[in-house]
Amino acid sequence: MFLKRIDVTGFKSFADHTEIAFSPGITAVVGPNGSGKSNIADAIRWVLGEQSARTLRGAKMEDVIFAGSESRRPINYCEVSLTLDNVDRHLGVVFDEVTVTRRMYRSGESEYLINKQPCRLKDIAELFMDSGLGRESYSIIGQGKIDEMLSTRAEDRRGAFEDAAGIVKFKFRKREAQRRLTETDQNITRVDDILDELERQAGPLEAEANRARAFQELQEEHRALDIGLLVSDIEEQTERWKQAQAAALQAGENRDAVRLALADVEQSLSTWRRNLENHRQSAELLQRQHVEAIERRERLQGELALHQERAKSGSATIEDREKQLSSLAEERAELQADLERVLLRQNEIAGQMERKQGELEAAAHAVDPGVKARLEADIARLNEEYIELHHHSAGFRNEIKMAEEYLAQDSQKHDRLSAERVRFAADEERLVQELGQWQEEVEVRKSELQELTRQIEELSTTQTKQAEAEAASVAAIHHAESETASLVSRLELLTELENGYDGYALGAKTVLQAASKDRLTGIHGPIAGLIQVQKAHEVAIETALGGALQNIVVDHEAAGRAAIDLLKQRHAGRATFLPLSVVRSRLLQSTERSKLQGQPGVVGIASDLVDCDSQYRQVVEHLLGNVVVTDNLVHANQAAKILNYRVRIVSLEGDVVSPGGAMTGGSISRKGPGLLGRSRERHEVERLIGERRERVAALRERQQELRQSIEQTVEKQRQSSVRMNEIRAGLESARSRTQDATNRVESVRDRLQTLDWEISELTVGHKSWEERLKTARQGLADVLLAIEKTEKSLAETRRILAERETSLSEAQDALTAIRVEMATFMQEQSTVEQQIADLRTRIHRLARRQQQLEQEIRELDASRETELRAADEAAQTLIEVETDVDELEQKTTVVRQEVQQMESDVAELEQTVRRRQQELTNAEEQVHRAEVAEQRIDVDLKHALNRMGEAHKMTYEWARQHHRLTVPAAGARQRAEQLQRQMNQMGQVHLGAIEEWERLSERLQFLTRERLDLRQAEEQLQSVIAELDEEMSKRFYETFEAIRQEFRVSFRVLFGGGKADLTLTDPEDLLETGIEVVAQPPGKKLQNLNLLSGGERALTAMALLFAILRVRPVPFCVLDEVEAALDEANVGRFAQQLRTFSDETQFIVVTHRRGTMEEADALYGVTMQESGVSALIGVRLEDQGFDPDMETA
C-alpha cells in the first residue's frame, strides 16, 4: 500500500483545489518560509481524524478553513481527500483503492467519507487501527514532534511501541470488554437488590390477594344491584330532559333569527367600513400625489430658473471672451501691418546696399596698388572695423530703444491687468462669502426638512400604533363584555341553584324551602350556607363535614321539632338540626394541640380554617373542633400516631384517618363545585363581574382618549405637511441662489485665471527684455570704447597716407564715404531683422491666445446650448406638472366629500348594529335560562350515565337490556346497603393485589434466570480480558526487543559510532511500563538526554524512528522539517537512511535541506505568487536535470 494522491480544497492557505500526486519512494516538498508547505502535512494529519486545533497550529478548528487574503474573500468550507493504493489489502477492505475524505464547514459541521460514502470518525479510526497510520501514530512526524519523542514521559513514549506491536486494536477490544464487564457487574448488583426486595413482598402480597378475591364476590353482587337502580333513575330523568330540551330549542330558534338579522347588518357595516377605508386610502394617496406634484412643480421651477441663469451667465462669459478675442485680433492686425512695413524696409535696404557695393568696387579699382594699396588696405581694414563697430553700436542703440519701449508698454499693461485682477479678486471674495451664506441656508433648510420628515414619520408611526391600540381596545371591550355576559349567566345559574337548594337531600331542601316561604321560623340555614372556606381547604372541610354540610342551624330545640314535624307530615325524608341554644363546642385538649405544634404537614384545626358569624362559632367548633387537617396522607398518619389514633384527621386531598386508625381515600370525582365551593364561587363570580364592568368602563374611556389622540395626531400631520411644503420651497430657492452664486464665482475665477496667465506672460517677457536691455547697454559701452580706439588708428593711418599720397585723397574720401554708407545700411538691416523676429514672436503669441479664447468660446457656447435645451425641457415638463396639480386637487376634493358622506352612513349603520346587538343579548339571555334548566337536568342525567360508565364500565342501553331490576327498587336498595356494610366491615381492600401477586411471581422467575445468565457472561468477559492481556504482553515484549536491537544499530549508523539502548521502567508490568531512552554519542560519556545538543537529540529521535520502521514498516511516513537541527554531514546520513527505507516505506518530506532534496525522487515546490494563497509546482527529478543548489531559504 502507498499514498497515491491528496486533494485539498480551501484548507489553510490552499484556497483553490489542489491535487498532489505521489509515487513510491521519496517525495520532497520545498518552499520559502510562510509559503504553506507544512500545511500539506497538516492536511494529512487532519484527514486522518486529528481533533486538536493546537496540533494543527491553530486556535480553533475553524482556523483550518481558508480565511481570505487581500485579493480573495474567505470561503465557507474546506475538504481534504486522501487516496491510498490498497491492492495488497493492507487496510483489510476489499477495495483496490481507498479514498478517505474529511469536510468541514465554517458553521462547525463536519463530514467524514470513505470512498464517498458517509461514515463516522470512529469508522476511520478503526480502518487505520494497527496499520501504522493514524493521527497519533509514528507515520506523521510534524515540526517539533521529533524532539518530543525524547522529551515526553517514559510512560507516554510507549504509544509508538504499541502501534508498532499492533496491540492498539487489542487495547480497544479490552476497553470494550472492561466496559461491558462493569455494566454486567452493575446489572448483577441491581438484579440481586430487586430479587431481595421482591422476596420480602411476596408473603404479605399473597395474603392480600386472597382477601381481595372474597371482597370481589361481594362487590359483584352490589354492582349488579347498583346498575339496576341507575337504569331506573336514568329512565325517569330522560323524560324530564326531553321536555326541557324542547323549550331550549324554541328559545334557540328565536335567538338564531335575531342573530341572522344582526349578521346581515354587520355584513353591511363591514362592507361600508371597507369602502370607507378604501376611500380614505384613496384620499390619502391623492393628497400625497398632490403634494408630490406641487413639490415637483417647485423643483422644476427652480431647475428652470437655474438653467436660464446658467445660460445667461454663459452668454455673458462668451461676450467677454469675444471682446478679448476682438481686442487680440486688432492688436494682431497692427503687429502684422508693422511686420509688413518692416519687411518692405528690409527689401529697400537690400537694394541700396547692392548699388553701394558696385560703387565701392569701382572706387577700389581707382586706387593705385603698392604702398597706396598697403595703406589703403590698412585704412580699409580699420574702416571695416570702424564700420562694423558702428554697425554694432547702431544695433545696440536700436536694441536699447526697442527694449525700453517694450518695457514701458509691458509696465503699463501689467499695471492695468494687476488693477483688473485686484477688482476681480475683490468680487471673488464677495461672491464666495455670498455663496457660503446661501450654502449655509441650504444646509439649514435640509436640516429642517430632515427633522420635519422625522417628525412626520414619528406621527405616522404614532397614528398607526394609536389605530392598533384603538382596535385592540375595541376587541378588549367586546371580549370583556362577552366575559361579563358569561359570568352573569353563571351567577344566575349559581343563584338559581342556591335558591332551589340544588344538591341538598329531600329533607333539608323541604325545610329550607318552607323557611324561605315563612312557613317555619327560627331557621338560620344550612351549614354550607353559613360558613366560608378558602379554596385550598374546601376539599378537606367538605370531607370532614360530609353530610353535616346539610345540617340546618335553628334557634332552639322547638324550632327543630317544628321542622321535624313538617317532614313527617309531608313524608319528605329526614334532616339534622343544630339548635344554637344547646349545641356546644367540641375542641381538642390543650395537650393534644401542643403535640401537634411543630409537626410537619399539619395545616391546623379544621374549625380554625373556617370563617363564619360569631353566633355560629360554637356550631362550627361542635362539628370541626376536634378534626385536624394535614397537607397529605403521610403526615396524616404521622399526626394520628402522635394523637394515639383518638382524633379524626383529614388531608387537603380528602383522605381521612379515622379514630382507631382506619383510613379512607382515593380519587374524588367532581363534575363541579360542591356545596361549599358553590357559595364561594358565587361570591367570586360577583367580584369578577364587578371587575369586568369596571374594566369595560376603563376601556371605553381609554378608547375615547385614543380617538382624541388620533385626531390630534392627524392635525399635527397636516400642519407638518404644510410646513414641509414651505421648507421645500425655501430649499429650492436657496439651491437656485446657491447655483447662481456658484456660476458667478466660476466666471470670476475664469477671468482671474486668464489675468494670471496674461500677467505671467508679461512677467516672463519683461524679464527677457530687461536682460536684453542690460546686455545691449553693456555691449554699447564696449563698442564705443573700440570705436574710439579704431578712430585713433584710422586717423594716424590716414595722416600717413595723406602725407605720402595726397593725390589719392579724393579717391580715398569717396571710398570711405561709400563704406560708411554701406556700414549704415548694414546696421539698419540688422535692426530691421531684429524687429522682424520680435514682431513674429508677438504675432505667434497672440495667435496662441486667440486659439485658447476660440476654444473657450466653443465650450461655453456648447454649455449654453445644453442649458437652454434643459430649460426648454424643464418648461415643457412644468406645464404638464401644472396640469397634474390641478387635476389631483379636483380629485382630492371629490374623494374627501365622498368620505364625509360615507362616514355619516357608517355611523347610522353602527347605531343599527348596536340596537341589533341589544336584541341579540336579550335573546341569548332567554336561551341561557332555557339551557340552564336543560343543563341542570342534563347534569343529573350525565352524572348518572357517567357513573354507569365510570363505576360499571358499560353503556346505559346495554345495562337496560341486561341489568333490569327483578325486585322492587326499595328492596334492591336495602340489599345494596346491606352489601355495602359488609364491604365496609372488611375495611381497606387492595383489589390490585391479585394481579400484583401474579406479576410478582412471574418476575421472580424471570429475574432468577436473568441473574444466572449475567453470572455466566461475567466469567466469559473475565476470560477474554485475561487472554487479551496475555497476547498484548507477549506482542509488546517481542516488539520492544526487536526495536531495541534495531535502535542500537540505527544509532551507530547515524552517529558513526557510540552506544544507545532502550529500557523498561517496570518490566513486571508490560501493559503499563514506560520506556527509557539511553544514548552515548561517540567520544562522550553516557548522560541525560536533556543534556544532549539539539542535533544530537534530533539524530537520537531519528534513530528511534528508523528502528521502529525497521521492525514495523508503515505504508507511508510524513516528515515535516525533522532534520532542521542537523548539520550537513548528518543531513547526508539522514537522507541515506531515507533512501534505505524507501523500498518498503513511502516518504513525504517537508524540508529546507539540500542533502534531503538530493535523495528525493520527486520534488514539489510551494509558492505564494498570489499573496496568502499557496500554489504547487512539481517535477520528477529522475526526468529532469535537477540542480540541488536551488536550495530555498
Q: Which residues are annotated as a binding site for ATP?
A: 32-39
Closest listed residue to residue 678, CA positions, set 528, 897, 514, 868: 528
Residue 104 and residue 110 in contact, taking contact as beta carbons nearer than 8 Å: yes
Name the DSSP class of 1123: T
- Rounded CA Rg of the chain: 62
How far is 228 from 594, CA to CA, in rounded Å? 51
How far is 228 from 969, CA to CA, in rounded Å? 8
Whose cell is 446489572? That residue is: 187
Cβ within 8 Å of residue 175, ≥6 positions away: none
How far is 679 from 499, CA to CA, in rounded Å? 11
Strands (E) in 506-616, as ranges, are: 523-526, 531-533, 552-554, 577-579, 602-605, 610-612
**Distance from the Cα of residue 1044 to its chain's centroid:** 59
Q: Which residues are annotated as a binding site?
A: 32-39
How far is 21 from 1176, CA to CA, in rounded Å? 11
Name the DSSP class of 29: E
What's the grid cell of residue 572?
Answer: 319528605
- Distances 973 to 228, 656, 964, 977 between C-alpha atoms, Å: 10, 26, 14, 6
Closest listed residue to residue 627, CA positions, set 660, 598, 657: 657
Neighbours of 1026 (CB within 10 A): 10
How far is 1130 from 1115, CA to CA, in rounded Å? 25
Cβ within 8 Å of residue 566, ≥6 positions away: 510, 511, 514, 519, 520, 572
Whose cell is 574710439? That residue is: 788
Neighbours of 1126 (CB within 10 A): 23
Residue 985 and residue 977 in contact, taking contact as beta carbons nearer than 8 Å: no
Which is it for strands 1116-1120 and 140-141: parallel, antiparallel or unpaired? parallel
How far is 43 from 17, CA to CA, in rounded Å? 13
How far is 996 from 975, CA to CA, in rounded Å? 31
- Distances 875 to 312, 731, 862 between C-alpha atoms, Å: 16, 20, 20
Cβ within 8 Å of residue 333, ≥6 positions away: none
Residue 846 and residue 334 in contact, taking contact as beta carbons nearer than 8 Å: no
How far is 111 from 105, CA to CA, in rounded Å? 9
**Distance from the Cα of residue 524 to its chain's centroid:** 72
Cβ within 8 Å of residue 159, ≥6 positions away: 136
Which is it for strands 110-114 and 77-85: parallel, antiparallel or unpaired? unpaired
Neighbours of 141 (CB within 10 A): 22
How far is 695 from 487, CA to CA, in rounded Å? 14
How far is 51 from 35, CA to CA, in rounded Å? 24
How far is 288 from 280, CA to CA, in rounded Å? 12
Q: Is the dihedral of CA 91, 93, 97, 99 positive or negative?
A: negative
What's the grid cell of residue 898?
Answer: 365622498
H or E segment to which residue 904 belongs: helix 809-952
- Distances 941 to 251, 390, 818, 1075 between C-alpha atoms, Å: 22, 156, 166, 90
Residue 141 and residue 1105 in contact, taking contact as beta carbons nearer than 8 Å: yes
Which is it for strands 1075-1080 and 1116-1120: parallel, antiparallel or unpaired? unpaired
What are the residue ranges of helices labelled H in 657-804? 675-804
